[in-house]
Amino acid sequence: MKNQVQLITYVDRLGGQRDGADLRRLKQLLSDPSSPLAGVFGGVHLLPFFHAIDGADAGFDPIDHTQVDPRLGNWGDVKALTESLDVMADVIVNHMSSESPQFQDYAEKGEASAYAGLFLTLDAVFPHGARERDLLAIYRPRPGLPLAPVTLKTGERRMLWTTFTAAQIDIAVRHPQGRAYLSGILRTFADNGIRMVRLDAVGYAIKKAGENCFMMAETFDFIGEFAGEAKALGIEVLVEIHAYHQRQIEIASKVDWVYDFALPPLVLHAFNFRTAAALKRWIGIRPTNALTVLDTHDGIGIIDIGADTGDRQAHPGLVPPEELDALVERIHDASQGESRRATGAAASNLDLYQVNCSFFDAMGRDETAYLLARAIQFFLPGVPQVYYVGLLAGHNDMALLSRTQVGRDINRHFYGADEIATECERPVVRRLIELIRLRNRHPAFGGSFRLLASGDEELSLRWERAGEWAVLRVNFASLAHELSYSAAGGEGERFAFS
């Protein structure tokens, strides 16, 4: 994986038209010399582009995980994109759509179906029956149980695992059919030039009677085996987990790459409470094999800096609970109440541990503070990723939220080509693009990192390599700041945030 900033985007929401040429348009947007985004990114994470992109969960419930949605293009278009950029794709490990041909065949034929072993039943995990305490022990970040009763056309009634929604049927990943299904996805990706995969929802993939069924030892075993299979095909693996911060550190020690999901709320905390103390504590212990993010296609995680839900007293969070609660309220205030309409039980939102809001609006549309937040992200060890809405300093899309009543759609705007061109002329976007180019090109970021000593209200970060250096200083009490770096001729230069 290149040590350069990557873009996270839906293919059809960044200049797309769903006419079969969206992948080609994206390639042109990111590589054509006439585009303001030409050469800005070292890689791109394509959010689900499989058939179909508009299911119950915006593509995270694939009907056919090995087919590109024809409204976007085809595998040849994906392979063409990989010739100029590192491309990451999702392997939705835990589930597939109830509209998939495999599940439709199972629903039609029951146990006589060739796919009967592909879908996980309650009996497969609890062959002797499940007690109340067994079910209540299952880790569940959403309301209700991860199970759905289904009546097959044969008259058989089964209780199927549905960790996320009833339209997303869990895969029996340890069954030969489950293994073959996932292996086929990897081979298809490898054949078409994809060299990085994100394992979506992998923390829930293994279920075991009497356990919480989330990131168990058996889950790590499965991740290790799957990652080994991917590596044999030349593919790197990113594990996507929202969890208590100490758990994230443990996970990172056992996998190739993780997300730094604690960073977004900690950056917001630093600006809102005028202190870097919690952020610096995290910097001192955080895993460095991380993809740093401030925003993604999901909401801003809260669980990642809170106390362990299993034992809050023994395992406190990175910030006190009262400050965490206050931070959520301050995000709502900064967004003029818009995020409140998309978060919690509002708007059919299911992820109760996330705040749905564009990151720019979560920061009250303060352009200087927003660029400083990005600078902090880019200065931390790891590979930065920037979400397409964040790239354009996007606002909350209340019209889309109103139409779909899906909370996360507040931060999933559809940008047309003209709108992209206009947004790229905004000073905050132009400065962000310049900041990305600095992070990609300056040699210091390939060297060694230091967190410099400073007071609780200050953050000082330094990179250096073979006489080259870059330093970022932010005082959260006064908002004084400076980003300086070595330049040709031994002179130092400063980055202008406004």
Q: What amino acid positions are annotated as catalytic residues?
A: 200, 240
Neighbours of 449 (CB within 10 A): 17
Please give the helix or strand (H or E) that residue 251 lies within, else none: helix 245-252
CA distance 448 to 469: 10
Residue type at 438? Answer: L
Q: Give me 495's structure tokens.
A: 């980055």
CB 315 within 8 A of CB 407: no
d(CA 423, CA 285): 37
Nearby residues of 228 by Cβ (< 8 Å), 6 or more positions away: none
Taking Cα atoms as reference points, which of 357, 450, 373 lies closest to residue 409?
A: 357
What sign results for the dihedral spanned by CA atoms 169, 174, 175, 178? positive
For 116-149, give one letter per residue: b (16+ CB within 10 A) or e: bbbbbbbebbbeeebeeeeeeebbbbeeebbbbe
Tokens of 22: 């969206």
Q: What is the largest CA-CA distance in the chain?
A: 79
**Residue 408: strand, helix, or coil:** helix
3-state class (DSSP) for residue 31: helix
Q: How many CA atoms lie within 13 A of 113 on its CB side?
A: 21
CA dihedral 224→182→288→479, nearest 10 degrees, is -150
Burial class (CB in 10 A: 0-12, 13-18, 19+), 314: exposed
Helix (H) or strand (E) holding 399: helix 398-404
Q: What is the DSSP letter of 489?
A: G
Name residues whose C-beta falls within 8 Å of residue 392's C-beta, 6 or more positions apart in sequence.
415, 420, 423, 424, 426, 429
